[in-house]
Amino acid sequence: MVYGFARGVLLVLSKMLFRIKISGTENVPTSGVYIVAPSHRSYFDTPFASFITRRRIRFMAKEELFKNSFGAKLFSTLGGIPVTRGSASARGATKAVEAALRAGEPAAVFPEGTRAHGPTIAPLFDGAAYLSVKLGCPIVPVAIGGSEEILASGKKLPKLHRVSMRVGAPIMPPADASTRRRNDLVAISDELMKSLQSLFDAANADVDGA
């Protein structure tokens, strides 16, 4: 109930402030687990990505937010998964997301890693592909156009700007794919990158044409 209320309030505010438009929600699976793979240009991308479904989507969040009991309860309720910063924690973060997926909830993985800049999707990490192959679940690409203009990396104060979101067709891992074969993961990541770029171009065109 808390998650649904918070999501609803944020969605209403986003429609009012950012005139957010979401296309392609029919591509979101109605049941089962899946990996949400959004483009990443702003801190706002995390709440925006939650708008594609009423189901709770689990997101990675820095562990500092969970240090006190109030923060731990709040951010856990909102879908946060505590992770440690730094490259050494990447394996632990992947395991945390895997645990959320195994528990039956969709989870988000930003395949570009950190926030990128500009209209071109940055080279993708293989985390989403790895989890997709390991668990046999689809990846749902989500492009978010306009969020960089709201709050880009390095900026502190947000601005009002239109946002367009495009949800693409789910990408299923081949039945014979293996996490032990690097080529299998690269092939899925390449497919995801092509889908994200096409969706991101369309989302940015929506924003520019507004």
- The residues that bridge with 165 in the sheet, in sequence order, are 22, 144
164-167 and 139-145: which strand pairing? antiparallel
pLDDT, residue 190, reads 98
User: Residue 85's pLDDT is what?
Assistant: 65
Phi, psi at 87, each rounded to 5°:
-60, -30
CA 126, 106, 163, 171 dihedral sign is positive
What integer pLDDT is reported at residue 139 of this predicted model? 98
pLDDT digits (tens, 9 = 90+) for 174-201: 999 999 999 999 999 999 999 999 999 9
Q: What are the DSSP calls for 158-208, one per residue?
A: ------EEEEPPPBPPPTT--TT-HHHHHHHHHHHHHHHHHHHHHHHHHHH
Is residue 87 within 8 A of residue 99, CB to CB? The reply is: no
Closest CA to 164 of 22, 14, 1: 22
Length of the chain: 210
At 113 the pLDDT is 87
**Residues 122/15, Cβ–Cβ less than 8 Å:** no
CA angle centred on 37, ends 32 and 40, rounded to 5°: 150
| Positions in the chain short of pLDDT 70 | 85-90, 210
CA-angle at 78, arms to 5 and 170, nearest 5°: 95
pLDDT at residue 88, rounded to an integer: 47
Find out whether 32 and 45 touch, Cβ atoms under 8 Å: no
Q: Do the Cβ atoms of 79 and 58 come closer than 8 Å? A: yes
- H or E element at residue 141: strand 139-145
pLDDT at 19: 96
φ, ψ for residue 48, nearest 5 deg: -60, -45
Q: Where in the chain are the domains? A: 2-56+103-208
